[in-house]
Amino acid sequence: METGNVTTPFGRRSMTLGMLANQVMAGEIKPDQSVDKWKLFRALCEAKPLLGIGDRALAVLNALLSFYPKNELAQGNGLIVFPSNIQLSLRTHGMAEQTVRRHLAALVEAGLLLRKDSPNGKRYVRRDRTGEVNEAFGFSLAPLLARAEEIERLAAEVMAERLHVQRLRERITLCRRDIAKLIEAAVEEDIPGDWQSLYREFRDLIEGLPRSPTIAQLELMLGELTGLRTDVLNQLEIRVKSTKQRGNADYIERHIQNSNPDSTIELEPSFEPKQGAMVEQDKGREAETLEEGRAETTHPGRQEESRQSGGRNDGGGLKSFPLGLVLQACPEILAYGPGGAIRNWRDLMTAAVAVRSMLGVSPSAYEEAANVMGAENAATVMACILERGGHINSAGGYLRGLTRRTEKGEFAIGPMLMALLRANVPAGRKVG
């Protein structure tokens, strides 16, 4: 804490155990602990749903931080700010003083501020003869410094959840489009089936989704739509296979009828290779395929030629890789997963947001990468950047560069992962 003892509030405000707990927590700040106040404020804006504070309370907190003279929150710089309600009203663009007081109380109740009230309840500062602050009465920012790691973690969880919801919505949209168009095609092609019942089931699922669904409701919807799409595809595939078989039977029958069994013309000798030669050719083709794969991984020029010839994935269609392969190539990311482990893609996305904050990558840069590459691929790229942290000067600039290249179809994750995999696997590093 700013002082070495516990302080109680002025006037009719009562002391609570929550206030006492916040003061005790603030007193446990390490002497060398510091954090950038605006970086922490951005994390607070992300984590506000989990902290129970609103936009206007954040506006008041922003005004309080603007009165703090340094960019780094640290005990050595002092942690008390003492603006009057009039000054706070001006810096919150004319917010009424009564509203300012209400949101200050909300910030104290949320454990983000501490009151250090003077004997008469006023906010002021006493200075020594050299002009240095001797004692200040106002609001202590110590809880922000003490809870900085917790706030960063909560912000990472909120952002990972938002990306997860976005990905669920994208998949639901694709399922809806597939089902609607497949049923439409079946009706237009006059394919036998109870398409009306399937379409009614489809509409019932869509209309049953609330306007603001929870993650569990979205996941349930995706599962049901995926099952319905599978049913529609199975019926259409059965029809396609039966049509293909009838077509082959008709072709064979016509071929037999057109053949002349009495023909005495001898056929030309066959130039097909013998069985042994065919095996050798297959082995040769397999070796050529493997060699081309290695060349594509190690020579970006050849990879570009492959893309131009039709093998390129566009933007959001960037090829993704199995989670196990990603963790094998990038084991450093494991320490940032929930509980020090990564069990699924959601854990990886949570860890990637924490790493993003640690490396100084702005939320906008990461969100743009997730929109262009896809949430899983953006998390994979952050894991790769962490693994190569010693060779990258600006992680944010590097990520934006990869995003631009992805938009142009000039970037693939495969070569980056393979290079890290070759570097890590021989050393015996294992995924935990």
End-to-end CA distance of the chain: 39
Is the Cβ–Cβ distance between 44 and 164 less than 8 Å? no
Q: How confident is the model at residue 58 (pLDDT cuts 50, 70, 90)?
A: very high
Backbone angles phi and psi of 212, in degrees to 5: -120, 80
Question: Of 189, 219, 221, which is closest to residue 205 (Cα–Cα)?
Answer: 221
For 182-228, what is each residue's pLDDT tens digit?
A: 988 888 888 888 888 888 888 888 888 888 889 999 999 999 999 99
What span, in angstroms and rounded, lies between the C-alpha atoms of 355 and 285?
A: 43
Can you tell me the distance from the alpha carbon of 308 to that of 306, in angstroms, rounded to the nearest whole number? 5
Q: How far apart are CA 410 and CA 307, in angstroms?
A: 8
Distances (CA, A) of 18 to 8, 53, 74, 105, 173: 12, 16, 23, 13, 45
Which range, of 29-43, 295-309, 322-336, 371-385, averages the lowest pLDDT? 295-309
Does pLDDT of 84 surpass 50? yes
Read off the pTM.
0.49
Give backbone dihedrals phi and psi of 242, rounded to 5 degrees, phi first.
-65, -40
Residues whose CB falls within 8 Å of the CB of residue 243, separated by 6 or more in sequence, listed in order: none
In one-letter notation, the amino acid at residue 212 is S
262-289 pLDDT, tens digit per residue, is 433 233 233 333 333 333 433 343 333 3
Please tell me the predicted confidence (pLDDT) of residue 33: 83
Percentage of residues in the chain having pLDDT higher than 70:
71
- Is residue 334 within 8 Å of residue 431, measured between CB atoms? yes
Of residues 424, 384, 421, the one with CA closest to residue 402: 384
How many C-beta atoms lie closer than 10 Å to residue 146's C-beta? 23
pLDDT score at 18: 61
